[in-house]
Structure 1
Amino acid sequence: MGSERRELMKALGARLRGLRAEAGLTGAALAERAGVGQPTVSKVENGRMVPSADVLDRLSDALGLDGSTAREVCDLLVAVMAASETAKASSEALDGATLDEAVRSARLVRSFQCVVLPAMLQSAEYARHVFDSAPHTTPEVVGRAVAARVERQSLLYEPGRESVFVLTEGVLRTWPGSPALMLAQLDRLMAVESLRTVRLGVIPWRRPVPVMPRHGFTLCDSRAVVVETFRGEQVVDDSAEVAAYEETFSRFAGAAVFGPEVRELLLQVMAEFRDLETSATR
């Protein structure tokens, strides 16, 4: 997270905390009036969470702010979001600094993906296509982001760590670039799957999914989950939310195949990409 954005989040939180004190309300009372969770109020006031425009409007209404004060806190939120957009243009943000920090500190990483391969499993060329699709990038920024992503993958080989990946079969068949790129990528998956520190599972298309997947997510131990969206990554550390994602991951893992079955599936998909490559060269 950029230092400018962090300071702006703290300023917004401190201003709201001061306004709540002036109104003579506890955090719980403000949360009840605004119709939001008390942890949300706490995280916003402590600069740990950026409220949505809707949540900020609710808090402003619950505090009874006049027009000028409401515009003041709204302007602070706009400044936070502007700083966020600036940070996203950097290679650190492009590579997912939020996810990187959370993964590096975890001993057990569990990741579910339904469209794109997990960052820890991407080949350099696959990652390059992922970063090239992001807005406002340059070849230099993409190059640094790819290098950082490849370096992070060394965590897969560290003793004492465990990584569990569950993918839908659609991930293996959603491909950028060329069939040759995917053949190299699938070959990497075969190699990683053989590691003692890694478990790779795939939910075959012939099996129904236990829950309709809406987005990818990564659990870091049992203390946080990184939720991936089109606009970036969000770290959630609320214990109830983390527990819900753990239960969902278990259901996806229960529908997946592992070991010899997943290797057989990978070889089958590789054969189909070889057919595509042969057809493209004719």
Structure 2
Amino acid sequence: MGSERRERMKALGAHLRGLRAEAGLTGAVLAQRAGVGQPTVSKVETGRMVPSFDVLDRLSRALGLDDSSAREVHDLLVAIEAAADAGLAPDDGGAAGAVLDDAVRSARLVRSFQCVVLPAILQSAEYARHVFQSAPNSTPETVGRAVAARVERQSVLYEPGRESVFVLTEAVLRTWPGTPTLMLAQLDRLLAVESLSSVRLGVIPWRRAVPVLPRHGFTLCDQQAVIVEAFTGEQMLTDLVEVAAYEETFDQFERAAVFGDDVRELLLRVMKEFRDLGDTVTR
């Protein structure tokens, strides 16, 4: 992470921590009032996570900030985003993916569409390792830190009060790094996640035409931001018109997908094919 962005994150965290102390609140009470996880409050206050604008607004309301104070913390977050837009390297020791991971970590409603690579929050450790190794200028050290951070952030799936909707094309299940064994473990993880009451996992089968030709993956965080993913990095869009356009597109993909028993049947079928492929490779 760039030093300027890191310092701005620390400044925002220290400011929020001071405001919480002035209000006489513990981190747990603030988290409860704001409707966010206590780890989110802790990581924001220590400068280890960038909150979404929605999360920052909820924290501001929970702290009872007046308009002037709320604008001040909002401006600090704008400064952090400006540092990221200026081309500073992402978090996780310089490997790609921190903007997305942090935004997802602080959102209550996550909706992600992917047409090639699995959503970050669903990736197994080994799958994520291949993702980070493909990033420019990656090293074993930065990849290791990035994988550990990504796996830790996936705990958001199990936190109460959150909802996640994932829509994938069948191509995502069949575009694989590493070995068939890696993908068997990854697909088994998808089956486990699909069973969670807070998660909806859908797949658009290849037999169905897509409603819109996908150009890239994207993730909606609440109704405040969308993370657009490309080869060169990630871009966070907060313009409400743009966010609304991505919401409409996501709705179209969601209507084309299968869920529940149908998606479980599809996952098991693809797992069998990877198992057969693995047997072929080892012969």
Whether TM-score is above 0.5 comes out as yes
Separation in structure 1 between the aligned mates of residue 93 and residue 251 of structure 2, nearest angstrom:
31
Long gaps (5+) in structure 1: 8-42, 53-79
Aligned length: 214
Q: Is the Cα contact below 8 Å between 1:202 and 1:256 reproduced in 2?
A: yes
Q: 1:278 to 1:6 in 2, by over 3 A?
A: closer
The aligned amino acid for 1:94 is A
Separation in structure 1 between the aligned mates of residue 129 and residue 144 of structure 2, nearest angstrom:
8
How far did 1:111 drift? Answer: 0.3
* TM-score, with structure 1 as normaliser: 0.71
The aligned amino acid for 1:168 is T
Long gaps (5+) in structure 2: 8-74
1:233 aligns with 2:238: no
1:61 is matched with none
The aligned amino acid for 2:102 is E
Separation in structure 1 between the aligned mates of residue 153 and residue 96 of structure 2, nearest angstrom:
10
Partner secondary structure for residue 245 of structure 2: helix
Q: 1:91 to 1:102 in 2, by over 3 A?
A: closer
The aligned amino acid for 1:115 is V
Partner secondary structure for residue 196 of structure 2: coil
Partner secondary structure for residue 171 of structure 1: helix
How far did 1:181 drift? Answer: 0.5
Q: 1:2 to 1:162 in 2, by over 3 A?
A: same
How far does the alpha carbon of each residue in 1:220-246 deviate from its partner, in whole angstroms, 9 at most, with x for none? 010111111111111111010000000
**Structure ID, larger Rg:** 1
2:2 is matched with 2
Separation in structure 2 between the aligned mates of residue 141 and residue 201 of structure 1, nearest angstrom:
32
Partner secondary structure for residue 136 of structure 1: coil
The aligned amino acid for 1:4 is E
Q: Is the Cα contact below 8 Å between 1:95 and 1:146 reproduced in 2?
A: no
Query: 1:182-261 alignment to 2 at 5 Å?
Result: 182-261=183-262
Partner secondary structure for residue 184 of structure 1: helix
The aligned amino acid for 1:158 is E
Q: 1:224 to 1:96 in 2, by over 3 A?
A: same
Separation in structure 2 between the aligned mates of residue 97 and residue 269 of structure 1, nearest angstrom:
30
Q: Is the Cα contact below 8 Å between 1:228 and 1:234 reproduced in 2?
A: yes
How far does the alpha carbon of each residue in 1:235-266 deviate from its partner, in whole angstroms, 9 at most, with x for none? 11101000000000000000000000000000
How far did 1:93 drift? Answer: 4.5
Partner secondary structure for residue 219 of structure 2: strand
4+ runs of 1 displaced by more than 3 Å?
Answer: 46-50
Identity of aligned residues (%): 74
1:158 is matched with 159
How far does the alpha carbon of each residue in 1:35-60 deviate from its partner, in whole angstroms, 9 at most, with x for none? xxxxxxxx9xx76558x9xxxxxxxx
Partner secondary structure for residue 227 of structure 1: strand
Separation in structure 2 between the aligned mates of residue 5 and residue 162 of structure 1, nearest angstrom:
29
Q: Is the Cα contact below 8 Å between 1:164 and 1:200 reproduced in 2?
A: yes
2:103 is matched with 102
